[in-house]
Amino acid sequence: MKNITLLITKIIILLSRKKSNIPAKIALKVFPKILGVFKLPKKTIFITGTNGKTTVAKILKDVYEKNNFKVAHNIGETSAPLSALTCLIANSTLSGKVKSDVLIVKLNIKSVHEILKYITPNYLVVTNVAREKAMTYDFFEAISKNLKKTISNETHLILNADDPFVYSLNNGNSSYFGIKADGDVNFNYDDNLDVVFCPICQTKLTYTSNHYNNIGDYYCESESFKRPTPEFETELVNNNYKIDNLEARANSIYNVYNASAAYIVLKATNTDPNEIKNFKFEAFEKYQNEKTFYIPYSKIKTPLSFQHILELISQEKTPATVIIGFKKPPNSDTSWLWDVNFELLNTDNVKEIICVGAYANDIAVRLNYAADSDKITVVEKDVMKYINENGTKNCYFLTCDYYHKKVKKEAQVIL
């Protein structure tokens, strides 16, 4: 049954013109235990977290390939479990042996436990954990419970030392990445933070330094719970970052964390990490017709990832049009948008903010509290036509895939 299932799904993948997870759905229907049949390479690396999965995976793929390793991955796909299974089917023999030296799989933080029930990776990277929706109050507790039940002690964890929730997942077989404390504490405990209390005993954490949000140096007075010191700790020096003997530049502190995570993985797998310094960090895919359209690599489904993109736009000098909207927001919920710092759009370069989608008016209400109302426009139909006729030369699509597809249909990718 295993061989027949893999043969059928491999044929479907070969015949399919578009990337799809239908083969994975069929495989699970025909042979529910399919995930347990694969023979994995010694360098099997799972990457999960709220943000940074794709970037860490890209860095690792780039460096491993430059070190002459054959790499299988699901980087261009979603981080859902079905994507992981499709990747395994496409890159394995009929007996289930993965035909690569390295396997890199990115997985959604809320569903990674579904794969860990069947597969024990050699390495599991956890980048960070942040709220995805304000309505999901049990988010952290649910993740912790599911992960701790399914993470094997045989898996070497690569954890963000600066995220107290991520550190709490350590299994005694862990390495850490993090940025050296700078002594600054620039948040208020009354702010809408993701982790204020100790994940172990629920006592309020004390922060002695933080880099953004609740990411920094912390300790709990009631428990022996405090930030661990990474073996290779990253330092920020004059807008550059330095890890061990490697010094390079990234376009944001978020990518410094991504580079640090990749560095620790490469060290753990005895691979030369020097090529990290040549990695080109990109925040946007770029498409062009008469205008240039920017689509963020980061999925803007959390206040944290949304804010990261807004910070980058606010630093640009050229006139910009910003398009915000969803065909259908996650769980039809827009309340989390009030946690996004849209005030960052109060810059001279942002000429117009266009609200689109089923909840365009709700988004416009939120934006009216943050930006000049004269810049805000609600467009219900023919969005691309309006933008082509009225938008500035540079247009940023902070939207869902529905609108990204419209951009890709009308413009050519800039390589």
Distance, in Å, from the CA atom of 203 to the CA atom of 146, rounded to the nearest integer, reads 22
Asked if residue 244 has pLDDT above 90, the reply is yes
Would you state the pLDDT for residue 121? 97
43 CB contacts (<8 Å, ≥6 apart)?
Answer: 64, 69, 101, 102, 103, 122, 123, 269
The H or E element spanning position 11 is helix 2-15
Distance, in Å, from the CA atom of 352 to the CA atom of 400, rounded to the nearest integer, reads 19
207-219: pLDDT as tens digits: 998 888 889 999 9
Would you state the pLDDT for residue 137? 46
CA dist list (Å): 120 to 17, 85, 194:
32, 14, 29
Mark residue 332 as left, alpha or beta (left: phi above 0; alpha: psi -120 to 50; beta: remaining). left
375-393: pLDDT as tens digits: 999 998 889 999 999 999 9
**E strands in 101-166:** 102-108, 123-126, 156-160
Would you state the pLDDT for residue 336? 81
Would you state the pLDDT for residue 3? 66
Could you tell me whether strands 123-126 and 102-108 are parallel, antiparallel, or unpaired per DSSP bridges?
A: unpaired
Give the bridge partners for 294, in sequence order: 286, 396
Asked if residue 330 has pLDDT above 60, the reply is no
Distance, in Å, from the CA atom of 268 to the CA atom of 158, rounded to the nearest integer, reads 9
Distance, in Å, from the CA atom of 269 to the CA atom of 174, rounded to the nearest integer, reads 13
Instruction: List the one residue out of 71, 104, 90 whose CA is nearest residue 23.
Output: 90
Asked if residue 118 has pLDDT above 90, the reply is yes
Asked if residue 129 has pLDDT above 70, the reply is yes
Alpha helices in 68-157 (DSSP H): 81-90, 112-116, 139-150
**Is 2-278's fold the same as 284-413's?**
no
Higher pLDDT, 18 or 109: 109
Distance, in Å, from the CA atom of 167 to the CA atom of 40, rounded to the nearest integer, reads 27
Would you state the pLDDT for residue 9? 75
Q: pLDDT class for 410, splitting at 50, 70, 90?
A: confident
241 neighbors 187 (Cβ within 8 angstroms) = no
Highest mean pLDDT among 22-36, 132-146, 329-343 belongs to: 22-36
Provide the residue type at 26 as one letter. I
Q: What does the DSSP 8-state code read for residue 97?
A: B
Q: What is the DSSP string of 318-332?
A: S-EEEEEEESS-GGG
Q: How many CA atoms lie within 13 A of 107 on its CB side?
A: 28
Q: pLDDT class for 332, splitting at 50, 70, 90?
A: low
Average pLDDT over residues 24-44: 89
- Start-to-end C-alpha separation, the chain: 43
Which CATH number does 2-278 carry? 3.40.1190.10
Distance, in Å, from the CA atom of 32 to the CA atom of 357, rounded to the nearest integer, reads 38
Would you state the pLDDT for residue 18? 60
Asked if residue 133 has pLDDT above 70, the reply is no
User: To the nearest whole number, what is the mean pLDDT of the chain?
Assistant: 88
Provide the residue type at 223 as one letter. E
Q: Domain locations in the chain?
A: 2-278, 284-413
Could you tell me whether strands 412-413 and 284-288 are parallel, antiparallel, or unpaired per DSSP bridges?
A: antiparallel
134-182: pLDDT as tens digits: 444 457 778 888 899 999 999 999 999 999 999 999 999 999 999 998 8
Asked if residue 227 has pLDDT above 90, the reply is yes
Which CATH number does 284-413 carry? 3.90.190.20
